[in-house]
C-alpha cells in the first residue's frame, strides 16, 4: 500500500504566538474529551481557558479523519446512556455542548458476541438484557439476577467514591447522602472473582465479560468497578453522535470560546513552568511562555510527571515513585476499511461484533501474545460506523466504512519507533499487511458477501497512537484498570504541586464518559465553592 496522505478534517484554531489573547485563568494541556470538558465547564463558570493541542485537530481519541474519500472515527465506536436526558452522561454532554450534539440509537442488539460456536446478543433495556441471557443460559437465572443487582450496587456506590476525589469535608454537605452509601465488599475485587462467586458456568462468565475490550483488561485482571461501570453504561443500548465523533469537539469549542477561551492545534507544550514551587505556566516548542494560575494536564500521568514536569518541580520524586505503582494499558491496532457502496446496500448492521475463539479470555490472550502466528486472535471487535451515523450517506454518498480493532502490542512494532510517520519502510508495511489480512478474514467469516468489495484499508498501530496522541506505548486506555489502580489516592485532580491539576481518563476511568467525568472533577477542584452548583446539577440532578 502507498503512504497515505494526511487527513483534511481539522477542528480548532492553529496556534501562533501572536494569536494568544492576554490573560488566561487556566491552561489545559491536551484536547482529549476530558480536557475539553474541563475547559467548557470552567468557561461556564466565567473562566477564560486556553486549550493547547499538539495534533492538527482537537478531540484526542474523539477526533475523526478522512482519507481516499472515506471518514473514520479513531476512538468513538458507541456511547451509552444517551437515550434519556436525565442520565448523568447525557446531562454532562448537553451541558458542555449547549445541547448542540445529537445522537442516533443503534440497533436493539447493540453488541453481538461470538464465543467459539455460540452467539450471544446483548439487548438494550435491563429486562431485555437479562431475559436474553436467561434464554441462552436457562439454568443460570439466579446468577443473572444477582449479577444485575451487583451492577446496580456499584452504580449507587460510585458517586460517593467519585466525589471523595475532590470535595473536602467542609464542602461535602450537599452530597453527604451519596458518600454514606456503603461500597459493597465485592466492589474492587477482580471481575473474574466476583463472577465466579455467582456461577461456575465459564461460558456465562465469558458472555458477561464479552465487552472486556472496552477497558482493555481480561476479567482475571480487571477490577469489577470498571466492568460494572461499562456493562451498566450500555444497559439501555448504544448511541452514536450524528455527524461522527468530530462533532464532539465542534460543539464543545464554542462553549469554551464564550468566556474568551480558545482551543489551539499544532500547539506543542514542551514543559510545565515552575516558579517558587508552584506551576505558573507552560513553555511551548517555539519558546513562547504562557502563564495562568491553574495549569491542567490532560496528557496522562506518565507524560505529566515525566517529560513535562521539570526536575526542579517539588514532589517530582514522589510522583516518579507513584508511577511505578501503575501500569500502562493495552495497546491495539485498528483496521480502517472503505467500500464503494452504501451501508444500506451492503446490509451493514448498527450492531458491534465481538469475536472470541472460546470462553477463556485470559488464556487466549496469553497464548496469542506468546505465539501470534500459531494462535487465533483472542479478540476481534468490528464496528460499522457508516451504518450508525444517519448523516454519513449524505456526507459520503455511495460509501461505507468498517473498523476492526484487535490486540497489537507495542513491542511488535518497537523496532520502527524511531522512524518518521508514513516512512517506516517496507518491513513495517509488510508486517501491517499480514495482520490486516488476518483481520479481513475475520470480517469475511461473519459477512462473506463483503469479500471482494473492499476498496481501501489501512492499519493503525501503537506507533500511530504515540505519534498522534502522545501515548508512548500505544496505551489507548491510559492506565490499567486493576484493583490496585483504584486504590491509588494520588489519581485525583489536585496534585501536591500548587497550581497543577490533572484531568481525563487517568483520574477516573477510561472511555469517553469516564474521561468527561474526570473533566468535571477537575472543574470542581479548580472552581472550589463556585463549582458546587455544577457538582449538584451533575451528581444529584
The string over 462-497, giving b where at least 16 C-beta atoms fall within 10 Å of a residue's C-beta and e elsewhere, is: bbbbbbbbbbbbbbbbbbbbbbebbebebbbbbbeb
Q: Which of 170-184, 304-318, 366-380, 476-490 has the lowest mean pLDDT?
A: 170-184
Pick among 3.10.180.10, 1.10.260.40, 3.40.50.300, 3.50.50.60: CATH of 13-86+243-326+488-539: 3.50.50.60
Residue 235 has pLDDT above 90, yes or no: yes
pLDDT of 3: 37
Confidence band for 2, pLDDT divided at 50, 70 and 90: very low
Residues in a beta bridge with 71: 66
Sign (positive or negative) of CA dihedral 427, 329, 269, 276: negative
Residue 24 near residue 290, CB atoms below 8 Å: yes
Strands 13-14, 262-265: pairing is parallel
pLDDT of 463: 85
Longest dimension (CA), the chain: 69
| Beta carbons within 8 Å of 489's beta carbon, 6+ residues apart | none
Rounded to whole angstroms, the Cα distance separating 414 from 209 reads 30
Summarised one tens digit per residue, pLDDT across range 32-59 is 999 999 999 999 999 999 999 999 989 8
Residue 170 has pLDDT above 60, yes or no: no
Residue 105 has pLDDT above 80, yes or no: yes
Q: Which of 44-53, 222-231, 443-452, 454-463 has the lowest mean pLDDT?
A: 454-463
Mean pLDDT of the chain, nearest integer: 93
Rounded to whole angstroms, the Cα distance separating 49 from 24 reads 6
In terms of Cβ atoms closer than 10 Å to its own Cβ (0-12, 13-18, 19+), residue 260 is: middle
pLDDT of 474: 67
Higher pLDDT, residue 174 or 479: 479
Q: For residue 459, what is its C-alpha cell?
A: 492499519
Confidence band for 179, pLDDT divided at 50, 70 and 90: low
Residue 174 has pLDDT above 80, yes or no: no
- Please state the pTM of the whole predicted model: 0.94
Confidence band for 465, pLDDT divided at 50, 70 and 90: confident
Residue 303 has pLDDT above 60, yes or no: yes
Count of Cβ atoms closer than 10 Å to residue 46 Cβ: 12
| Beta carbons within 8 Å of 392's beta carbon, 6+ residues apart | 71, 244, 343, 385, 386, 399, 400, 401
Summarised one tens digit per residue, pLDDT across range 392-429 is 999 999 999 999 999 998 888 888 888 877 788 889 89
pLDDT of 6: 41
pLDDT of 78: 97
pLDDT of 1: 34
pLDDT of 254: 97
Question: What is the secondary structure of 188-214 as a DSSP string?
Answer: TSBHHHHHHTT---HHHHHHHTTTGGG
Confidence band for 11, pLDDT divided at 50, 70 and 90: confident
Q: How far is CA 70 from CA 37, 55, 521, in A?
A: 28, 20, 36
Summarised one tens digit per residue, pLDDT across range 143-159 is 999 999 999 999 998 98
Rounded to whole angstroms, the Cα distance separating 332 from 379 reads 10
Which whole number is the average pLDDT over 121-144?
A: 98
In terms of Cβ atoms closer than 10 Å to its own Cβ (0-12, 13-18, 19+), residue 455 is: middle
Query: Helix 33-44 crosses helix 512-527 at what angle (to 10 degrees)?
Result: 40
In terms of Cβ atoms closer than 10 Å to its own Cβ (0-12, 13-18, 19+), residue 183 is: middle
Q: For residue 490, what is its C-alpha cell?
A: 494520588
pLDDT of 183: 82
pLDDT of 169: 56
Amino acid at each position: 500500500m502507498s503512504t497515505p496522505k494526511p487527513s483534511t478534517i481539522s477542528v480548532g484554531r492553529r496556534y501562533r504566538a501572536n494569536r494568544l489573547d492576554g490573560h488566561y485563568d487556566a491552561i489545559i494541556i491536551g484536547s482529549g474529551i476530558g480536557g475539553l470538558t474541563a475547559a467548557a465547564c470552567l468557561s461556564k463558570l466565567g473562566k477564560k481557558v486556553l486549550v493547547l493541542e499538539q495534533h492538527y485537530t482537537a478531540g484526542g481519541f474523539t477526533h475523526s479523519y478522512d482519507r481516499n474519500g472515506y471518514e473514520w472515527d479513531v476512538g468513538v465506536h458507541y456511547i451509552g446512556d444517551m437515550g434519556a436526558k436525565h442520565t448523568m452522561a447525557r446531562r454532562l454532554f448537553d451541558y458542555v455542548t449547549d445541547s448542540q450534539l445529537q445522537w442516533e440509537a443503534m440497533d436493539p442488539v447493540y453488541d453481538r458476541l461470538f464465543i467459539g460456536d455460540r452467539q450471544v446478543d446483548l439487548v438494550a433495556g435491563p429486562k431485555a438484557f437479562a431475559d436474553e441471557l436467561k434464554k441462552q443460559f436457562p439454568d443460570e437465572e439466579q446468577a443473572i439476577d444477582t449479577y444485575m443487582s451487583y451492577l446496580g450496587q456499584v452504580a449507587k456506590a460510585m458517586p460517593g467514591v467519585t466525589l471523595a476525589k475532590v470535595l473536602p469535608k467542609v464542602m461535602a454537605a450537599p452530597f453527604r447522602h451519596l458518600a454514606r452509601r456503603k461500597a459493597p465488599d465485592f466492589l474492587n475485587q477482580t471481575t473474574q472473582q466476583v463472577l465466579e462467586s455467582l456461577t461456575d458456568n465459564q461460558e456465562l462468565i465469558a458472555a458477561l465479560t464479552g465487552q472486556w475490550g472496552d477497558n482493555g483488561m481480561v476479567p482475571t485482571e480487571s477490577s469489577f468497578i470498571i466492568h460494572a461501570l461499562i456493562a451498566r453504561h450500555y444497559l439501555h443500548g448504544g448511541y452514536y453522535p450524528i455527524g461522527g465523533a468530530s462533532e464532539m469537539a465542534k460543539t464543545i469549542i464554542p462553549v469554551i470560546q464564550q468566556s474568551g477561551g480558545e482551543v489551539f492545534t499544532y500547539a506543542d507544550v514542551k514543559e510545565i513552568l515552575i516558579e517558587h514551587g508552584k506551576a505558573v505556566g507552560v513553555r511551548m516548542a517555539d519558546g513562547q511562555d504562557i502563564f495562568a494560575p491553574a495549569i491542567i494536564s490532560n496528557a496522562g500521568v506518565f507524560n505529566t510527571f515525566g517529560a513535562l514536569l521539570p526536575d526542579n518541580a517539588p514532589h517530582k520524586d514522589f510522583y516518579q515513585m507513584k508511577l511505578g505503582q501503575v501500569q500502562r494499558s493495552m495497546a491495539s491496532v485498528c483496521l480502517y476499511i472503505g467500500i464503494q457502496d452504501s451501508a444500506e446496500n451492503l446490509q451493514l448492521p448498527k450492531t458491534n461484533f465481538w469475536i472470541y475463539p472460546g470462553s477463556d479470555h485470559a488464556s487466549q490472550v496469553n497464548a496469542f501474545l506468546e505465539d501470534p502466528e500459531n494462535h487465533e486472535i483472542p479478540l476481534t471487535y468490528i464496528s460499522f460506523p457508516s451504518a450508525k451515523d444517519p448523516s454519513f450517506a449524505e456526507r459520503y454518498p455511495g460509501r461505507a466504512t468498517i473498523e476492526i480493532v484487535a490486540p497489537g502490542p507495542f513491542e511488535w512494532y518497537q523496532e520502527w519507533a524511531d522512524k518518521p510517520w508514513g516512512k517506516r519502510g517496507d518491513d513495517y508495511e509488510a508486517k501491517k499487511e499480514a495482520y490486516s489480512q488476518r483481520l479481513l478474514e475475520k470480517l469475511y467469516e461473519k459477512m462473506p458477501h463483503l469479500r471482494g468489495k473492499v476498496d481501501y484499508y489501512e492499519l493503525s498501530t501503537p506507533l500511530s497512537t504515540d505519534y498522534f496522541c502522545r501515548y508512548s506505548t500505544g496505551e489507548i486506555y491510559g492506565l490499567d484498570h486493576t484493583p490496585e489502580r483504584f486504590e491509588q489516592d494520588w489519581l485525583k485532580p489536585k496534585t501536591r504541586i500548587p497550581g497543577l491539576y490533572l484531568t481525563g481518563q487517568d483520574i477516573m476511568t477510561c472511555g469517553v464518559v469516564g474521561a468527561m467525568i474526570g473533566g468535571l472533577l477537575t472543574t470542581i477542584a479548580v472552581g472550589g465553592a463556585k463549582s458546587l452548583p455544577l457538582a449538584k446539577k451533575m451528581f444529584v440532578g
